[in-house]
Chain A
Amino acid sequence: MATFDGYPRPDGPAGVRNYVAVVPTSVAASAVAEAIADRATENVRATPHQMGIDPPKAAREQIERTLAGVGRNPNVGATLVVSLGPETIDADVIADEIAGTGRAVETLSIREAGGTAATVDTGVALARELWDGIANARREERDASELVFGVECGGSDTTSGIASNPAVGAACDRLVRDGGTASFSETPEFIGAEHILADRCVDDETREQLLARVERRESAAQLMGVDLRGAQPTPGNQDGGLTTIEEKSLGAIAKGGTTPVRGIVDYAESLPIGGGLVLMDTPGYDIESVVGKVAGGAQIVAFTTGRGSTTGNPLAPVIKVTGNPKTADRLASNMDLDASTIIDGESIDAVGERVYETLLEVASGARTAAEQRRLEEFAINELQPNELAERRGNA
């Protein structure tokens, strides 16, 4: 059986990293959270974001689910939640959710601590204490079935559908065969390929949910009286040879492999352990989409790119795979795997095996290009007014 060396957790799958997360509840605490992480110790990571302090109810629930999910991710050994003060997004609610994992969590309020400088001082001390509590954790051999593998594509071009996505898809197939979970998202990029995904759904309920979510994303464009072409494919995608959203989608879904679709979950909702291929309903914005899957429990991510992307994540290692030979050369220092050999004749299966081996190595501690350079983008999907209106209508 395939294995990796991970950090055992009391309540579920092992982590592939062992971090203290410093989680701000709103933009008002983001700078303080970053300052705490910078000044604490090596293994402390902040998740700064731009969400406001008083969002509408449905938006608040999505933000809270995301922040709690981040703290519950197996890569996080302990969490410090930082708030401005009493806010709509409640630090205690988030902390309680995280505490349910049996892992340590602390909260800190800028108003109660006496301002930003005092909060940073107190926060650094708290983060160091939390680190001391998890610093003795040691990696143990764990079964690959404990892995939740998030896959993402960004800066797509024609090679994404030809090389990098099918190669990562072949790695997803291997992980699913070995009992793990693979997840891809970005619902707007199912448009034009949803019939293929629908045919692969395990039951009618999953199929109906999938088609309803695609319809919702497509009708959003229709409600606004615009077409998707301004945004999908992006101007960069078009330069790279992608003409329509259908063409982009047909290439994009290849990154999930070929196994049955076992379910579709909401943004940042928990992904099942040992669940096979499960989709997540997210927007097409890469950073938000990666964060949604990390909040859903993905310990490790593969990110395919044609034109080149350098993005990472504070808490989950992001493996970069390109199928474009020019990008493999020009952005070599930001790439982990070159799948462009597929265009020269290497089989998708052979490159998929390389991706899977890299996945297990990175899960066991090998550092990705994005980790080496501390590229740690973080953003939360904010529900838009039309989405909020629709959710009120459904309530």
Chain B
Amino acid sequence: MKGVILDDRGLHMAHADNVVTAIADLDAGMEIASEEATIELVEDVPFGHKIALTSIDPGDTIVKYGEPIGAAVESIEPGEWVHTHNCESARGRGDRSTDDGEVA
């Protein structure tokens, strides 16, 4: 598999990623240690979902596979679940189109 498995709990796909993927159903309070730091889960995170490794500000890019997958819409602390409630796509956003047809 590409990436590094951390504590049999998280998969860190690429070095630049600021999230890890849960490879088991994880409970609040569990710890995941990376090279840089140890994070503690602030909430339950199901298999396949993402957890923040670092502090992320609103508007910051969420990185997985070493590539941008969207932007944070609120502050995200290490150990928080990262999903549609706090991360949005930057693509295919017709809802952001202005009246003259330009895309914001």
Contacts and interface: CB of A to CB of B under 8 A. Distances in A.
B68 interface: yes
Given A158-B21, A247-B70, A250-B65, A241 B47 contact: yes
Contact of A227 (B2, B3, B83, B96): B96
Interface in A327-374: 342-343, 345, 347-348
Contact of B92 (A232, A238, A250, A345): A232
B48 A158 contact: yes
Contacts of B26: none
A227 B103 CA distance: 11
A223 interface: yes
Contacts of A345: 1
A275 B62 CA distance: 36
Contacts of B50: 241, 243
Given A192-B69, A243-B84, A247-B69, A223 B89 contact: no
Interface string B65-104: 1011110000000000011100111111111110000010
B34 to A, nearest CB: 18
Interface centre among B11, B48, B64, B83, by most chain A C-beta atoms within 10 angstroms, is: B48
Nearest to B67: A250
A229 interface: yes
B29 interface: no
B101 to A, nearest CB: 8
B44 to A, nearest CB: 13
Interface in A262-291: none
Give the secondary structure class of B's interface: mixed
B82 A342 contact: no
A241 B65 contact: no
A159 B22 CA distance: 10
A244 B94 CA distance: 15
A116 B41 CA distance: 65
Contacts, number: 115
A342 B70 contact: no
A224 B92 CA distance: 11
Contact of B1 (A225, A226, A229, A342): A342
A202 interface: no
Contacts of B87: 243-244
Interface in B1-29: 1-3, 11, 13, 21-23
Interface stretch (A121-129, A138-146, A160-168): A160-168
Interface residues of A, number: 41
B2 A348 contact: yes
Contact of B94 (A159, A162, A224, A232): A224
B76 to A, nearest CB: 12
Interface in A102-129: none
A213 B7 CA distance: 42
A228 interface: yes
Contacts of A244: 69-70, 87-91
B95 A166 contact: no
A157 interface: yes
B95 A243 contact: no
A166 B92 contact: no
A370 B51 CA distance: 36
Contacts of B23: 343
B58 interface: no
Contacts of A347: 1
A250 B1 CA distance: 15
A23 B78 CA distance: 57
Contacts of B97: 222, 225
Contacts of B95: 225-227
Nearest to A251: B65
B94 A221 contact: yes
Contacts of A196: 67
Interface in A148-201: 157-159, 161-163, 166, 188, 191-193, 196
B79 to A, nearest CB: 17
The 8 A-B pairs at the shortest CB distance, nearest first, are namely: A228-B92, A241-B48, A158-B48, A244-B89, A222-B94, A247-B69, A244-B70, A241-B49
25 contacts: A158-B47, A159-B48, A188-B92, A222-B94, A222-B97, A225-B95, A226-B94, A226-B95, A227-B89, A227-B95, A227-B96, A238-B84, A241-B47, A241-B50, A243-B70, A243-B84, A244-B87, A244-B88, A246-B90, A247-B69, A250-B64, A324-B48, A342-B1, A343-B1, A345-B1
